[in-house]
Structure 1
Amino acid sequence: MKKLESLPVEELLDQLEVLVDQRDDGKDFLLHSIISIETALLRVIKSDPESDYALSIVKIESDLKEHLVKYGTYLKTEYRKDEISAKSTLKQALRYDQTIPLAHYRLGFIAYKQQAYKSALFHFQHAVEYQRLKPQHKMSLSNQQSYHALLYLSNSALYLAAEAQQQSQKISIHNDVEQTKIDQLTLSPLYKLIDANSSYLAQHAFQITDSEGQRGASWEEYEELIDDATKDALILDMTGREIWVRYGGSAVKLTILNAELLRKLMLNSSETVPLAKTDLSDLFSVQSGDIKIERYVKSISRLREKLRNLKLPLDVIGMVAKPLNGQDTSYYYRSTEILFMLIEYAEGGQ
């Protein structure tokens, strides 16, 4: 089998289009292949100063970075989540752009979970700093994530300080060590701060977004929500390896594209502000920066078909045909008829 870099650009683009269509049909595991082809495309085009596709570099690189960051944690086997792959893809994204706040944030969280506090401190510091410098970055942090980044940053620093204090106490027993007042400090204030921050973060392990805004939730509240068969809201649960949409005790599994499409409709649309295909083009891997109306309508149809399995009292996705602004057919989420609830991990990963 030929290496991807040895193939002509036209053939790589053809392969990419086929894979994108297949992923739209629900084959999320193809994301790894899509990323491989996008990476090869960049190398091939950049290696030829006279390439006719030079103007496509910005678009291809933008798609690639978003796949690596947004979908990095989905790059796994079909049976289990692979955190090593998530870490690798996030680092790859930073090789293209060191200033992505969300990539640093997720790498910081992975390091924090692994108790690698020096690495966690590094990434949370960069997440906070790049968020400050580039608040409009396409992959920026939400306000809640920015707040959590500061707490994780503080805890990482406190853990390192506590470790340094323990080491200094061990060394101070030697007679040839001149002690200072710092050596006489107790570790208890440090651990009290760590416990206070950890307690808050535990109570805000999840981020819930609904028509009232955003709030944090603990594991206990999350479990109560997804087990509540009487809940009259459509719940988009993006917290696991598999994505589920739930209503009245029933649940249906969604593909990544299904979920991202529903998420955007929930959060950014209404009957007076429906979303046209141009508003959703960032969800599709297309080199022209635009999507065909047929693909857009087909994607909405697939999502509607999935939602029908929940036996909702009505079609929650409304349609506005030929809006006054002259755009193509547009869609919106009927939030006035069916309440929605979006649940995500507070650290931003899945």
Structure 2
Amino acid sequence: MTQTSALDVARRVIRLEQEGLEQMAAGLDDGFATIVAMLTGLKGRVICAGVGKSGHVARKIAATLASTGTPSQFVHPTEASHGDLGMITPDDAVLALSKSGETRELGDIMAYCRRFGTPLIGMTCGADSALAKASDHLLLVPDAPEACAETRAPTTSTTLMMALGDALAVALLEARGFTARDFKTYHPGGALGAALATVGDLMHGGEELPVIGDDARMSEALIEISAKSLGCVGICNGEGALSGMITDGDLRRHMGPDLLDQPVTEVMTRDPKTVSPATLAADALRQMTAGNVKITQLFALENGKPVGLLHIHDLLRAGVK
């Protein structure tokens, strides 16, 4: 196969799958909204099940649902017939995937749902299939041509199922008002965890917080800066509110023989940039690096009072970009 013919095949596959996606989007109806409403009020979990390539897609849908606030679990239909049906509770709903809708291994799960009144959602291309007829709710996938026409290997069909599962997860996410901060709870590690970290997750607080009163002298400020090793000190008024900060840069700008005797209010930068502990760490990094003057520390305030200090090194260590 030449390079040109390989590219032609790739473009043909992508176009076929794109056409299937457009057909599925156009065919969605109120049944989808009914399923979202039912699952939004579900007390238990969404049990996803499928065999073969549909099983792989079902696993992915279960993982996506679980990570976006909808408790979910994959149950293999064959294992279900040998005891794993006990994983399905009366409060659950089952999402069963099968392109044809005639997957024999799903039979015991379908019978179990009928027996115990567990809602069954069928995702299939077979509108008149056994799965479609047994389902309480149907997610009908267009019977679009597979990208590999000669073998009919699952390609377009699995793409459509995957996309429909994503659509279901996002619709449920938005119906529940699930936020980025909620999402972070399920993604504490890696690049995604770093992107969703807040200032409160990374800041220095408590005994680590470098602060002194606004009646102090620079000699006290230098001691506090050295003791806390964060390159700055916050200056608080009598009510504990932050009125300014002194950084290493301020020290260099005011260097002189009488520096240690000066009041901190003569050296400090007034009304410095600050953040809330709830601010996303990525937003704090942008605030530090925006404009011509770059800063390396931000105080986190609650009701005007410092509760933490964020250093740019904390952001870099956490992988925040």
Aligning the two structures, in what range does the TM-score lie when normalised by the shorter sequence?
A: under 0.3
Q: Which has the larger radius of gyration?
A: 2
Give the helix-richer structure, 1 or 2. 1
TM-score (norm 2): 0.22
Give the strand-richer structure, 1 or 2. 2
